[in-house]
């Protein structure tokens, strides 16, 4: 039976949207910030020839950089100011979170509350600047040699001046995106960084659909295969929606209390999502893979054929191409690791068990305290196995089929997972704002009636 809050949420309609002034401001701010993100993706780096770069962009198609290019909304292929997107920021946050779990000093800082969180965020920003500088330098070096075999120069005036300007521009672009994501989170709707990544993916979808339909019309794509792709995408979206809403509900009971109907026990449920980590594991895993691969891809263009080290980098890039067995293995291992790692950060069994014991709650048949903590850990471990397997299958199986069928890879499982998950989260937040506004109206009406009665 649905609770009163659930029934109230279901009754919220768009007719209340016109009166929700704060919600409209948040939505307009979010839309404006995403428009700024898209406009910045067309601003090229200083010293780069956009025309020559467009002719040379075919060289990296089908590789791992295409994956990076999708996440950045096409910024990498155009070498814009935000070519690296928010990936350095995500990688830096991963490093800080891992260090917090391993270092007692950082763990103590994390327990300091708001001040500790601000210090860790500052460390993340420092790491973002460092990672962006390293990646930016290798990108600048690779751009100087890009197209040398074809007699086309992507850089107008190669040299240290161009490298410094490119690194500074890329750092500024990434830091601005990081700030923009934080502003969306605090002043807009949804998670800012996730929305920026989703906007980059969605920007490619119209072109993808047009290419697929054109392929079916021209005969280059089998109509049966085209219908199969559409059906598979719809089924995949439905499956993602089902799994993201799947929960394991644990019965929580509180001591009996006297009511008008006699002694009654309060009961509630603690919902544990099957996929507690959400979309974070695929993003984290792809971020860790893309950072070294971006460096090796552009560094390989610089030292190709010059030494054994250059040949080794070229061979490594070939083995780690998008869709290759080694890439799939590393990507799947990263998803599984971050599923357990991030779940452990989001849900703390010891803290939850202590809170229940403090408020007199208990699980029927389980003693409060350590036994309850062990039970939470037991249940959470097993549902995380299911969640990690679900994420791995969703991200790897479509990617393998996409590669085997030579379909544009940004229709793969990872892209759809991010788009569907972020959309569901954003819609949920919009419903929460509408529900809060409706409750606010009820409280105001109650106060007005109370004033008239007096």
Residue 63's pLDDT is what? 52
Tens of pLDDT, residues 357-367? 887 888 888 88
What is the pLDDT confidence band of residue 233, given thresholds at 50, 70 and 90?
confident
Tens of pLDDT, residues 142-197? 787 776 666 677 788 888 898 899 999 999 999 999 999 999 999 988 888 889 98
What is the pLDDT confidence band of residue 383, given thresholds at 50, 70 and 90?
very high
Residue 239's pLDDT is what? 92
Mean pLDDT of the 241-268 span: 76
Q: What is the 3-state secondary structure (H, E, C) of 172-197?
A: HHHHHHHHHHHHHHHHCCCCHHHHHH
pLDDT at 274 over 50: yes
What is the pLDDT confidence band of residue 454, given thresholds at 50, 70 and 90?
very low
pLDDT at 128 over 90: yes
Tens of pLDDT, residues 10-19? 444 555 666 6
What is the pLDDT confidence band of residue 3, given thresholds at 50, 70 and 90?
very low
pLDDT at 5 over 70: no
Residue 352's pLDDT is what? 87
Mean pLDDT of the 128-133 span: 92
Three-class secondary structure of residue 149 per DSSP:
coil
What is the pLDDT confidence band of residue 391, given thresholds at 50, 70 and 90?
very high
Mean pLDDT of the 255-262 span: 61
pLDDT at 232 over 60: yes
The DSSP H or E segment spanning 255 is strand 247-259
Share of the chain above pLDDT 70, in %: 77
Counting runs of H as helices and runs of E as strands, what totals does the chain give?
Answer: 18, 2
Residue 257's pLDDT is what? 62
Q: Which of 181-185, 222-226, 341-345 has the highest mean pLDDT?
A: 181-185
The DSSP H or E segment spanning 248 is strand 247-259
Task: Say whether pTM exceeds 0.85.
Answer: no
| Contact of 283 with 67, CB cutoff 8 Å | no
Cα angle at 418 between 207 and 430, to 5 degrees? 105
User: Among residues 403, 219, 255, which one has the least CA distance to residue 325?
Assistant: 403
Report the distance separating Cα 59 and Cα 147, nearest Å.
Answer: 9
Show the domains of the chain with their CATH numbers: 11-453 (1.10.3370.10)
Alpha helices in 219-320 (DSSP H): 223-245, 280-303, 308-319
Tens of pLDDT, residues 414-451? 888 888 888 888 888 888 877 776 666 556 655 555 55
pLDDT at 64 over 60: no
């Amino acid at each position: 039976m649905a609770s009163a809050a659930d029934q109230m949420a279901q009754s919220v309609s768009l007719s209340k949207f016109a009166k929700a002034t704060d919600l409209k401001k948040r939505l307009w701010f979010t839309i404006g910030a995403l428009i700024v993100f898209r406009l910045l993706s067309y601003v090229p780096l200083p010293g780069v020839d956009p025309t020559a770069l467009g002719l040379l962009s075919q060289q990296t198609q089908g590789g791992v950089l295409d994956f990076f290019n999708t996440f950045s909304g096409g910024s990498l292929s155009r070498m814009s100011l935000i070519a690296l997107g928010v990936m350095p920021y995500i990688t830096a946050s991963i490093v800080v979170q891992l260090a917090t779990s391993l270092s007692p000093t950082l763990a103590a800082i994390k327990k300091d509350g708001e001040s500790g969180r601000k210090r860790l965020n500052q460390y993340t920003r420092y790491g973002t600047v460092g990672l962006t500088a390293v990646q930016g330098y290798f990108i600048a070096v690779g751009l100087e040699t890009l197209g040398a075999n074809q007699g086309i120069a992507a850089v107008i005036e190669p040299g240290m001046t161009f490298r410094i300007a490119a690194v500074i521009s890329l750092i500024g672009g990434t830091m601005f995106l990081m700030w923009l994501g934080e502003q969306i989170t605090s002043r807009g709707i949804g998670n800012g960084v996730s929305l920026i990544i989703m906007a980059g993916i969605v920007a490619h979808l119209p072109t993808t659909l047009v290419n697929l339909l054109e392929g079916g019309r021209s005969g280059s794509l089998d109509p049966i295969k085209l219908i199969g792709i559409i059906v598979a995408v719809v089924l995949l979206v439905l499956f993602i929606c089902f799994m993201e809403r799947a929960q394991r509900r644990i019965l929580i009971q509180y001591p009996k209390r006297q009511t008008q109907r006699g002694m009654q026990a309060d009961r509630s449920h603690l919902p544990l999502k099957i996929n507690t980590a959400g979309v974070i594991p695929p993003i984290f895993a792809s971020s860790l893979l893309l950072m070294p691969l971006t460096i090796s891809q552009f560094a390989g263009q610089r030292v190709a054929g010059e030494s054994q080290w250059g040949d080794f980098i070229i061979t490594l890039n070939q083995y780690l191409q998008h869709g290759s067995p080694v890439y799939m293995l590393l990507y799947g291992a990263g998803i599984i690791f971050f599923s357990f790692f991030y779940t452990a950060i989001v849900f703390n069994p010891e803290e939850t068990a202590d809170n229940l014991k403090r408020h007199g709650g208990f699980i029927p048949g389980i003693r409060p305290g350590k036994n309850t903590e062990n039970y939470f850990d037991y249940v959470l471990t097993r549902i995380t196995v299911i969640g990690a397997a679900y994420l791995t299958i969703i991200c790897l199986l479509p990617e393998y089929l996409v590669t085997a069928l030579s379909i544009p890879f940004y229709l793969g499982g990872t892209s759809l997972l991010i788009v569907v998950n972020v959309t569901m989260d954003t819609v949920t937040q919009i419903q929460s704002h509408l529900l809060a506004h409706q409750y606010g109206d009820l409280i105001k009406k109650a106060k007005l009636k109370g004033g008239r009665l007096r």
